[in-house]
Structure 1
Amino acid sequence: MNADSRTSPAESLAPPSLADSSLAAPPAGGAEAGRALAVVGVNHALHDRYADLIYVLLPVWQAEFGLGYVALALLRSLYVGALAGLQMPAAALARRLGLRTVLVLGTFVGAAGYALAGASGCLVVLCLALALSGAGSSTQHPLASAVIARAYGEAARGPLGTYNVAGDLGKAALPPLVGFVLAYAGWRPVLWLVAGLGAMVGLGVAVLLPREPAAREAARGAAQATARVDSSRSAQKKSGFGLLVAIGMLDNAARPAFLVYLPFLLQAKGAALATVGVGFALVAVGGALGKAAFGRLGARFGVTRSVILTEVGTAAAILAVVALPLAPAIAVLPLLGLLLNGTSSVLYGTVPELAPGGRVERAFAIFYTCTLGGSALATPLLYGPLGDALGPGRATMAAAVTALAVVPLMLALAPRLAPREGGPG
């Protein structure tokens, strides 16, 4: 699919925020759109399982390979770095090979990476395997988001939140199961099972993902030309999009800065490995609720208010988890997950509104590249050294500071948002 803009034929009658939206066109049929959302949602759940599985395995790899916190952060960053760095190439490849083909190939490559990790006998092969799996996962975020944005038109904010919820449901399902199985079996057989699950999902995407009707391509091409006429609005979108990307980078950096140290925080409080898995599941369940709720609250109460609420709440909850004993800390984790992940649905839903030139697919690719890439770099270069120097508890506090740093940027973005996006009043 080509990156495009879709503008409503009744643009002159629409509110300003909708008239300029690249998605203001009649959406696809309800059944087809729902099936597309279901397929990419399951695919998202798989790839997010792959990403968060690494957190549960960090203590295991630390014990087996004798790694410090910088090295552990680097292991995760190999996966996330490949995922982030290949977002835009994945979007470009989809224009040549087709979206369905690239999504299927990406899922199979992600599964192959975990199969290789399960067969690895040394740290070097494990590193290569994680990078390979991250490369496969790079396909699904920008392409799946564009599928939903096009299928639902200007009503895409809620479905994008649902798509993100699917990812957190995957996170909630796999880490506790893996944590339980690891108590009775080695980590390598677990990764082979996870790889087999990925192959099954890849087949499902190939068979079930609806094809986009070719007749809609011409209409979108005409809409793209219309969207480029208003250069002043395009410049405003571009500056707002840059701020949105910066906010996404900080928000996405705060999340792994906390999650990398969560297993070690819980173990220091007396948690067993199975309890660590339950802790991640509670964060994921809260995150799923947060993404579902804030995806719609952002549209109702405004992006600015929603983002500030989630980031300030995230900082407070992180500090509570650091300070509290094991049982109360675990009780806080669902709330922390709700706030920690709630921001993302608000931000993702705003990408189509601020996409420069109405090029939604490219805007999602840029957004995911920058936000995930920033996270991949910050974890080993900043938060890893802090962990080695100060210990997990104090290093985790840096995640709270990172979340609070979003607030001034969000206040700067607010004037560039349409009134219904920036907040009421």
Structure 2
Amino acid sequence: MRPFSFSSSTTDTIDTADGLAQATAASRTRVLWISCMAHALHDGYTDMIYALLPIWQADFGLDYGALAIVRGVYAGTMAALQMPAGRLARSFGTRATLALGTLLAALGYAVAGVSGTLVGLCVALAVSGSGSSTQHPLASGAVARAYGRDARGPLSVYNFSGDLGKAALPAAISLLITFMPWRHALWALSTVGILFALAIALFLPSVPRGEPSPTDAPRAARGGSRSGFSWLFTIGVLDTAVRMGLLTFLPFLLKEKGISPPMIGTALALVFIGGAAGKFVCGWLGARLGVIGTVFATEGGTAALILAVIYLPLTPAMILLPVLGVMLNGTSSVLYGTVPELTPVERTERAFALFYTGTIAAGALAPVAYGFLGDRIGVHGATIATAVSALAIYPLALALRPHLRAA
């Protein structure tokens, strides 16, 4: 009887271990897809404003300065509150905080739908922006915790999902307002956000904050690298500045080459399509070629393609735009995937909050800085400056390398 009993116990143990492994895999997958859906929704809410600005201009009688304030209220609130969102999650948990943030983001747009003044509209967008401030640090932190040292690939999928939302929700609001008032369209899309907030509260698995998962053990043991994170943060800020600076001047460069006004939108779409593909591909590429090698390739490619677009005729320049998009956006997935590798497990959300705050601020300030430069040295000179800025990332990447080796 004893041999039989021993065999049965062993089998039960193996079955239990397999069941736990399957449950863990299912939980990780659910964390990833709910986080991706949150990223798509919140990024879609962020860019939906662009489709609404002309409508608000006509409905509220706003000038361009007021429109800039409207856009700035949302973006500024979202950027400023990312760090507090990470601290809030420490008290109430990722699931509750992300669900509440999604609810606020949706309710803000619902309130915008009943606003009758510029002040009311700005208050509504501040509420929505404060809700969206929770998404980047908490959803990316949840993915990093769930996958541990294998998070680089899933984080690239998460990063890519934001571009899907940026494409889907502005298109959806544009379609809805063709057959219903814009206020009703906002209420419809805010209802989607409310329902998704409920789904987060019910279905997002709880990822432990205090103790690392088994795949996180090596990262927990080494405790992260503060100086390494500083180099990574600087690279992220400069990479974002290059991207936003170039996008500021690209329409003017193409206009000089004789592109028609309707085709400028197509040209930008080619860049954005390539950018979405770059986010998806380069995260996985970084896991295979290494962070530094991938950063060298994407930043060097960015600089070379910027110069090519400046000096080539219109047709070959247009052909290169999707590849330029891959290079422009590809670095970001590699950088985001490296954040948890240089951060103690218990500070993952804070690190993501700091990283996203820096990149969002760089995205807001870079067009202004490059714009002033363009006024002084011209569009070509300022665009060449963006290529030089991309190459300036090389020494920063070399400074980051020892910290990755130590990791």
Same fold (TM over 0.5): yes
2:153 alignment partner, one of 139, 154, 158: 158
The alpha-carbon deviation at position 204 of structure 1 amounts to 2.5
> 1:175–1:369: structure 2 CA closer, same or farther, 3 Å change rule?
same
The alpha-carbon deviation at position 39 of structure 1 amounts to 0.6
CA contact (8 A) 1:156 1:349 kept: yes
> 1:224–1:318: structure 2 CA closer, same or farther, 3 Å change rule?
closer
Q: What SS does the aligned partner of 2:64 have?
A: coil
AA aligned opposite 2:326: L
> 1:254–1:32: structure 2 CA closer, same or farther, 3 Å change rule?
same
Structure 2 unaligned runs (5+)?
Answer: 1-20
> 1:222–1:412: structure 2 CA closer, same or farther, 3 Å change rule?
closer
User: What's the counterpart of residue 210 of structure 1?
Assistant: 205
Identity of aligned residues (%): 52
1:298 alignment partner, one of 278, 286, 291: 286
Structure 2 residue 398 is the aligned partner of structure 1 residue 411: yes
**What RMSD over aligned residues (CA atoms) do the two structures have, in Å?**
4.0
> 1:369–1:73: structure 2 CA closer, same or farther, 3 Å change rule?
same
Q: Deviations over 1:130-150 (max 9, x none)?
A: 433222111011111121112
Structure 2 residue 34 is the aligned partner of structure 1 residue 39: yes
Q: What SS does the aligned partner of 2:261 have?
A: coil
The alpha-carbon deviation at position 203 of structure 1 amounts to 2.6
CA contact (8 A) 2:149 2:216 kept: no
User: What's the counterpart of residue 270 of structure 1?
Assistant: 260
What is the alpha-carbon distance in structure 1 between the residues aligned to residue 365 and residue 44 of structure 2?
21
2:342 alignment partner, one of 354, 357, 370: 354
AA aligned opposite 1:338: V
Structure 2 residue 330 is the aligned partner of structure 1 residue 342: yes
CA contact (8 A) 1:48 1:170 kept: yes
TM-score (norm 1): 0.74
Higher mean Cα deviation, 195-204 or 114-123?
Answer: 114-123
CA contact (8 A) 1:169 1:284 kept: no
2:240 alignment partner, one of 252, 269, 275: 252
AA aligned opposite 1:372: I
> 1:356–1:114: structure 2 CA closer, same or farther, 3 Å change rule?
same
User: What's the counterpart of residue 48 of structure 1?
Assistant: 43
What is the alpha-carbon distance in structure 2 between the residues aligned to residue 119 and residue 389 of structure 1?
44
The alpha-carbon deviation at position 307 of structure 1 amounts to 1.1
> 1:252–1:184: structure 2 CA closer, same or farther, 3 Å change rule?
farther
User: What's the counterpart of residue 11 of structure 1?
Assistant: none
Q: Deviations over 1:141-177 (max 9, x none)?
A: 1111121112112111111111111112222333455
What is the alpha-carbon distance in structure 2 between the residues aligned to residue 226 and residue 34 of structure 1?
22
Structure 2 residue 72 is the aligned partner of structure 1 residue 84: no
What is the alpha-carbon distance in structure 1 between the residues aligned to residue 122 and residue 255 of structure 2?
25
Task: Tell me which structure has the larger Cα radius of gyration.
Answer: 2
User: What's the counterpart of residue 65 of structure 1?
Assistant: 62
The alpha-carbon deviation at position 239 of structure 1 amounts to 1.0
CA contact (8 A) 1:35 1:210 kept: yes
CA contact (8 A) 2:74 2:126 kept: yes
Structure 2 residue 143 is the aligned partner of structure 1 residue 148: yes
> 1:184–1:111: structure 2 CA closer, same or farther, 3 Å change rule?
same
User: What's the counterpart of residue 8 of structure 2?
Assistant: none
> 1:143–1:322: structure 2 CA closer, same or farther, 3 Å change rule?
same
> 1:40–1:356: structure 2 CA closer, same or farther, 3 Å change rule?
closer
AA aligned opposite 2:62: F
> 1:265–1:100: structure 2 CA closer, same or farther, 3 Å change rule?
farther
What is the alpha-carbon distance in structure 2 between the residues aligned to residue 207 and residue 239 of structure 1?
38
> 1:228–1:334: structure 2 CA closer, same or farther, 3 Å change rule?
closer
CA contact (8 A) 1:241 1:355 kept: yes
Higher mean Cα deviation, 102-111 or 237-246?
Answer: 102-111
Structure 1 unaligned runs (5+)?
Answer: 1-25
The alpha-carbon deviation at position 184 of structure 1 amounts to 8.2
The alpha-carbon deviation at position 108 of structure 1 amounts to 1.9
AA aligned opposite 1:297: L
Structure 2 residue 156 is the aligned partner of structure 1 residue 168: no
AA aligned opposite 1:366: L
Q: Deviations over 1:280-327 (max 9, x none)?
A: 554443223212211111121121121122123234444555667777
Q: Deviations over 1:200-239 (max 9, x none)?
A: 3223222321223xxx667549999998886xx86xx111
TM-score (norm 2): 0.77
> 1:225–1:283: structure 2 CA closer, same or farther, 3 Å change rule?
closer
> 1:206–1:247: structure 2 CA closer, same or farther, 3 Å change rule?
same
AA aligned opposite 2:400: L
CA contact (8 A) 2:145 2:213 kept: no
> 1:167–1:357: structure 2 CA closer, same or farther, 3 Å change rule?
closer
What is the alpha-carbon distance in structure 2 between the residues aligned to residue 58 and residue 392 of structure 1?
27
1:139 alignment partner, one of 134, 148, 153: 134
What is the alpha-carbon distance in structure 1 between the residues aligned to residue 175 and residue 114 of structure 2?
21
CA contact (8 A) 1:55 1:260 kept: no
What is the alpha-carbon distance in structure 1 between the residues aligned to residue 249 and residue 84 of structure 2?
31
Q: What SS does the aligned partner of 1:65 have?
A: coil
> 1:57–1:144: structure 2 CA closer, same or farther, 3 Å change rule?
same
Matches within 5 A, 1:327-338: 331-338=319-326
Matches within 5 A, 1:92-131: 92-121=87-116, 123-131=118-126
AA aligned opposite 1:374: A
The alpha-carbon deviation at position 267 of structure 1 amounts to 8.2
The alpha-carbon deviation at position 46 of structure 1 amounts to 1.1
Pick 1 or 2: higher relative contact order, CA cutoff 8 A, min separation 6: 1
The alpha-carbon deviation at position 103 of structure 1 amounts to 0.7
